[in-house]
């Protein structure tokens, strides 16, 4: 069944159809929540809550991209959590590397071409540096850069998800990249060699 | 930013994402070839995006499949919060409507003579210039006779200074001097009271003396009550005027009074206040429930 048919079935209270949509989108939803919140447990809760909310509001979905719709729900959930300060900073992404419960062999990286151990270390360092810099961004910038640069969406999708005009998205993304470049410059030594260059430095 | 402006940075960012028109691409590529600073900025931007795109995707720790129980539990969890929230909104609407009725009701918009005369002291203290103002309304005089209701009350404020005996005789009034100041207050009394008030405030010691002087004619009036012909005792009308008083009271009862209008306006105000209170309480409960759910 294609996505449109599944949505229509879910709108008729077909939970199985909705669960197929969950399976198709849970990865991207979880990753957006994780990057927004930088906390494994809260991201897990936010993802679950987003899917429950989506099922309860599925009758309000008027067509278009289901992924954009569900990402809007989870982004708003994350905004609420960030606003109310209800994050539990007990298990951030950085800490998870030391957590014995996390199976890094299978869970950390979902790519089929799993990197070598030393590459894994380098990637963890890069991930930690990027996450640190994302956390320092203003909330609005954060969502845009996560959607466009980390999730690979285009401007139009990002605009639809955060419900902002295209021009705003472009401007926010440019400024977020500027801030990130400054921040990442502090982690220059930690970044893998291919991301460093002699001419690299702050833009100002 | 010294070498690259924000506008140029925005253009570079859009160029990187392939968001520029052909003409814009041609111009910026030309500039990139000639401007070293811009080229370096572009390289930094390119590298930043490479770093961001190199961040791996995390595998979700579990599946987020929904069950009927989860959906039902969530619905039950949210229901009380919704009830409180909508109750709060409904109460706020009622408060707004009641407030509008209170403000725009024609009766309520009329100035209440009762409330105006109830605060002569404040008028004197806050607006001394108003002391010389001409009285514009006839004072409300209560006549009392054995067939009428009640004898007035204890009143408020300094009764001896509020209702001196002199006007009692001049106006042929039969009101009880110790009655409510709001009903016996005459315009001349207001003036007198105002003038006295100026003296009373700084000279509290003289107050008792003034009170005794004013009480004296009242005592005379009381003693004169023994005479059946004059009969000014405590507002008892002479026999020839008692019938007219009865008619006056009956007519008064039949006609709509301002105080009735004021009562309804007051009710709207009370309703608005009560609804506002309910709205705040319901909103508070909804907010607490919401916070609780977020903590869970």
Does residue B152 lie in a domain region?
yes
Does residue B13 lie in a domain region?
yes
Task: Determine the angle formed by the axes of helices B6-16 and B22-34, rounding to 10 degrees.
Answer: 120
Domain ranges, residue A47: 1-91
The verdict on B84 and B24 lying in the same domain is no
The verdict on A122 and A168 lying in the same domain is yes
CA distances from B78 to B38, B67, B75 (A): 54, 17, 5
The verdict on B236 and B151 lying in the same domain is yes
CA distances from B275 to B214, B282, B283, B287 (A): 48, 10, 12, 18
Site from B51, B69, B74, B78 to mutate, A interface, most A CB atoms within 10 angstroms = B51
Q: Which of A140-144, B2-6, B123-127, B153-157 has the highest mean pLDDT?
A: A140-144
Indicate yes or no: CB of B294 within 8 angstroms of CB of A81.
Answer: yes
The verdict on B141 and B252 lying in the same domain is yes
Indicate yes or no: CB of B13 within 8 angstroms of CB of A177.
Answer: yes
Closest by CA to B152, choosing from B184, B120, B115, is B184
> In chain A, whose CA is at the least distance from the CA of B41?
A203
Q: Give B144's DSSP letter.
A: B
Give the count of beta carbons closer than 10 Å to the beta carbon of residue B50. Answer: 12
> What are the tens digits of pLDDT across the range A4-18?
999 999 999 899 999
The CATH number for A33's domain is 1.10.1740.10
pTM, two decimals, is 0.56
Cα gap B61→A48, rounded to integer Å: 11
Instruction: With H, G, I as helix, E, B as strand and everything else as coil, classify residue B14.
Output: helix
Q: What is the pLDDT of residue B170?
A: 45
**Which residue among A31, A47, A194 sits closest to B64, beta carbon to beta carbon?**
A47
Which residues of chain A are within 8 Å of residue B48 when distances are taken between CB atoms? 177, 180-181, 184
Which residues of chain B are within 8 Å of residue A194 when distances are taken between CB atoms? 50
A145 near B17, Cβ under 8 Å?
no
Q: Which backbone phi and psi does A97 adopt, to 5 degrees? A: -65, -25
Does residue B65 lie in a domain region?
no
Give the count of beta carbons closer than 10 Å to the beta carbon of residue A70. Answer: 26
Q: What is the pLDDT of residue A133?
A: 94
Does residue B222 lie in a domain region?
yes
The CATH number for A138's domain is 1.10.10.10
- Between A192 and B206, the more confident residue is A192
Indicate yes or no: CB of A55 within 8 angstroms of CB of B10.
Answer: no
B153 near B139, Cβ under 8 Å?
no
A6 near A43, Cβ under 8 Å?
no
The verdict on A87 and A98 lying in the same domain is no
Task: Determine the angle formed by the axes of helices A15-37 and A40-56, rounding to 10 degrees.
Answer: 140
The verdict on A39 and A103 lying in the same domain is no
The verdict on A32 and A112 lying in the same domain is no
Site from A178, A193, A194 to mutate, B interface, most B CB atoms within 10 angstroms = A178
- Output the average pLDDT for chain B: 67
Please compute the mean of the pLDDT values over residues B269-282 and round it to a whole number.
Answer: 90
Q: Is the pLDDT of residue B27 over 60?
A: yes
> What are the tens digits of pLDDT across the range A148-171?
999 999 999 999 999 999 999 999
The verdict on B142 and B242 lying in the same domain is yes
The verdict on B75 and B140 lying in the same domain is no
> In chain A, whose CA is at the least distance from the CA of B9?
A174
Q: Give the number of domains in chain A.
A: 2
- Between B292 and B125, the more confident residue is B292
The verdict on B227 and B152 lying in the same domain is yes
Please compute the mean of the pLDDT values over residues A88-93 and round it to a whole number.
Answer: 56
pLDDT confidence tier of residue A92, bands split at 50, 70 and 90: low
Domain boundary among B14, B29, B54: B54
> In chain B, whose CA is at the least distance from the CA of A195?
B47
Q: What is the pLDDT of residue B118?
A: 45
The verdict on B147 and B209 lying in the same domain is yes
Q: What is the pLDDT of residue A170?
A: 96
Which residues of chain B are within 8 Å of residue A166 when distances are taken between CB atoms? none
Q: What is the pLDDT of residue B124?
A: 46
Indicate yes or no: CB of B19 within 8 angstroms of CB of A155.
Answer: yes
> What are the tens digits of pLDDT across the range B68-122?
888 877 666 677 778 888 999 999 999 999 888 888 876 655 544 444 444 445 4
Which residues of chain A are within 8 Å of residue B41 when distances are taken between CB atoms? 203
Q: Which backbone phi and psi does B86 adopt, to 5 degrees? A: -70, -30
The verdict on A131 and A66 lying in the same domain is no
Q: What is the pLDDT of residue A125?
A: 85
The verdict on A177 and A127 lying in the same domain is yes
The verdict on A111 and A157 lying in the same domain is yes
Q: What is the pLDDT of residue A19?
A: 96
- Between B224 and A2, the more confident residue is A2
The verdict on B174 and B125 lying in the same domain is yes
Q: What is the pLDDT of residue B70?
A: 83
CA distances from A79 to A37, A86, A145, A170 (A): 9, 10, 15, 20
Cα gap A137→A78, rounded to integer Å: 15
Q: What is the pLDDT of residue A91?
A: 57
Cα gap B68→B74, rounded to integer Å: 10
The verdict on A135 and A202 lying in the same domain is yes
Radius of gyration of chain B (CA): 40
A185 near A202, Cβ under 8 Å?
yes
> Lowest-pLDDT range, A86-90, B39-43, B222-226?
B222-226
**Which residue among B47, B49, B64 sits closest to A51, beta carbon to beta carbon?**
B64
pLDDT confidence tier of residue B169, bands split at 50, 70 and 90: very low
The verdict on B124 and B244 lying in the same domain is yes
Indicate yes or no: CB of A55 within 8 angstroms of CB of B17.
Answer: no
Which residues of chain A are within 8 Å of residue B294 when distances are taken between CB atoms? 80-81, 84, 86
pLDDT confidence tier of residue A119, bands split at 50, 70 and 90: confident
Which residues of chain B are within 8 Å of residue A47 when distances are taken between CB atoms? 60, 64
Cα gap B204→A129, rounded to integer Å: 80
Gap from A164 CA to chain B (nearest CA, Å)? 17
The verdict on B74 and B191 lying in the same domain is no
Domain boundary among A37, A67, A91: A91
Indicate yes or no: CB of A203 within 8 angstroms of CB of B70.
Answer: no
Q: Is the pLDDT of residue B182 over 70?
A: no
Percent above pLDDT 90 for chain B = 25
Which residues of chain A are within 8 Å of residue B15 when distances are taken between CB atoms? none
Which residues of chain B are within 8 Å of residue A150 when distances are taken between CB atoms? 52-53, 55
Cα gap B267→B102, rounded to integer Å: 8
Q: Give the number of domains in chain B.
A: 3
The verdict on A76 and A135 lying in the same domain is no
**Which residue among B9, B65, B294 sits closest to A19, beta carbon to beta carbon?**
B65
Closest by CA to B140, choosing from B179, B176, B184, is B184
Cα gap A83→A90, rounded to integer Å: 18
Does residue B64 lie in a domain region?
no
Please compute the mean of the pLDDT values over residues A58-62 and round it to a whole number.
Answer: 90
Indicate yes or no: CB of A155 within 8 angstroms of CB of B295.
Answer: no
Gap from B21 CA to chain A (nearest CA, Å)? 15
Q: What is the pLDDT of residue B142?
A: 59
The verdict on A129 and A108 lying in the same domain is yes
The verdict on A105 and A73 lying in the same domain is no
Gap from B80 CA to chain A (nearest CA, Å)? 16
Q: Quote ipTM for the complex.
A: 0.81
Helix residue ranges per DSSP H, chain A? 3-11, 15-37, 40-56, 66-84, 93-96, 117-135, 139-145, 155-162, 166-185
Indicate yes or no: CB of B19 within 8 angstroms of CB of A18.
Answer: no
The verdict on B126 and B241 lying in the same domain is yes
The verdict on A16 and A51 lying in the same domain is yes
Please compute the mean of the pLDDT values over residues A115-138 and round it to a whole number.
Answer: 85
Cα gap A14→A195, rounded to integer Å: 48
Which residues of chain A are within 8 Å of residue B2 when distances are taken between CB atoms? 204
Does residue B62 lie in a domain region?
no
The verdict on B145 and B248 lying in the same domain is yes
Q: What is the pLDDT of residue B194?
A: 47
Site from B14, B55, B62, B288 to mutate, A interface, most A CB atoms within 10 angstroms = B55
Q: Is the pLDDT of residue B236 over 80?
A: no
- Output the average pLDDT for chain A: 83
Domain boundary among A60, A91, A122: A91
Domain ranges, residue B167: 118-256
Which residues of chain A are within 8 Å of residue B12 when distances are taken between CB atoms? 174
pLDDT confidence tier of residue A131, bands split at 50, 70 and 90: very high
């Amino acid at each position: 069944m294609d996505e449109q048919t599944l949505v229509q079935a879910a709108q008729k209270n077909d939970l199985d159809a909705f669960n197929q949509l969950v399976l198709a989108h849970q990865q991207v939803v979880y990753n957006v929540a994780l990057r927004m919140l930088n906390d494994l447990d809260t991201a897990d809760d936010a993802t679950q809550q987003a899917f429950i909310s989506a099922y309860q509001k599925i009758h309000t979905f008027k067509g278009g991209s289901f992924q954009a719709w569900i990402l809007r729900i989870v982004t708003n959930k994350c905004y609420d959590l960030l606003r109310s300060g209800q994050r539990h900073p007990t298990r951030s992404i950085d800490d998870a590397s030391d957590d014995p419960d996390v199976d890094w062999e299978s869970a950390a990286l979902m790519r089929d071409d799993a990197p070598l151990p030393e590459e894994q270390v380098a990637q963890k360092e890069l991930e930690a540096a990027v996450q640190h810099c994302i956390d320092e961004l203003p909330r609005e910038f954060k969502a845009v850069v996560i959607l466009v640069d980390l999730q690979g969406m285009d401007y139009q999708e990002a605009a639809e998800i955060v419900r902002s005009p295209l021009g705003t998205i472009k401007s926010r993304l440019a400024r977020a990249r500027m801030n990130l470049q400054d921040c990442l410059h502090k982690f220059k030594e930690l970044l893998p060699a291919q991301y460093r260059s002699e001419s690299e430095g702050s833009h100002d | 930013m010294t070498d690259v402006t924000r506008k140029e940075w925005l253009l570079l960012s859009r160029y990187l994402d392939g968001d520029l028109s052909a003409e814009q691409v041609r111009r910026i590529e030309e500039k990139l070839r000639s401007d070293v600073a811009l080229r370096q900025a572009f390289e930094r931007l390119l590298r930043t995006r490479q770093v961001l795109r190199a961040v791996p995707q995390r595998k979700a720790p579990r599946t987020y499949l929904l069950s009927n129980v989860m959906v039902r539990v969530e619905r039950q969890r949210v229901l009380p919060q919704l009830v409180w929230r909508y109750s709060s909104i409904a109460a706020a609407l009622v408060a707004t409507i009641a407030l509008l009725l209170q403000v725009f009701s024609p009766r309520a918009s009329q100035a209440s003579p009762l409330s105006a005369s109830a605060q002569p002291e404040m008028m004197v203290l806050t607006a001394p210039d108003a002391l010389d103002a001409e009285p514009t309304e006839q004072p409300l005089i209560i006549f009392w006779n054995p067939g009428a209701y009640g004898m007035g009350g204890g009143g408020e404020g300094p009764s001896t200074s509020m209702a001196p005996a002199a006007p009692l005789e001049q106006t042929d009034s039969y009101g009880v001097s110790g009655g409510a100041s709001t009903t016996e207050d005459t315009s001349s009394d207001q003036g007198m009271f105002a003038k006295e008030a100026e003296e009373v405030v700084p000279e509290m010691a003289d107050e008792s003396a003034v009170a005794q002087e004013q009480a004296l004619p009242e005592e005379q009036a009381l003693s004169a009550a023994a005479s059946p012909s004059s009969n000014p005792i405590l507002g008892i009308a002479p026999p020839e005027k008692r019938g007219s008083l009865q008619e006056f009271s009956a007519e008064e009862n039949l006609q709509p009074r301002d105080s009735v209008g004021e009562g309804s306006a007051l009710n709207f105000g009370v309703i608005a206040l009560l609804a506002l209170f309910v709205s705040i309480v319901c909103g508070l409960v909804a907010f607490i429930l919401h916070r609780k759910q977020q903590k869970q």
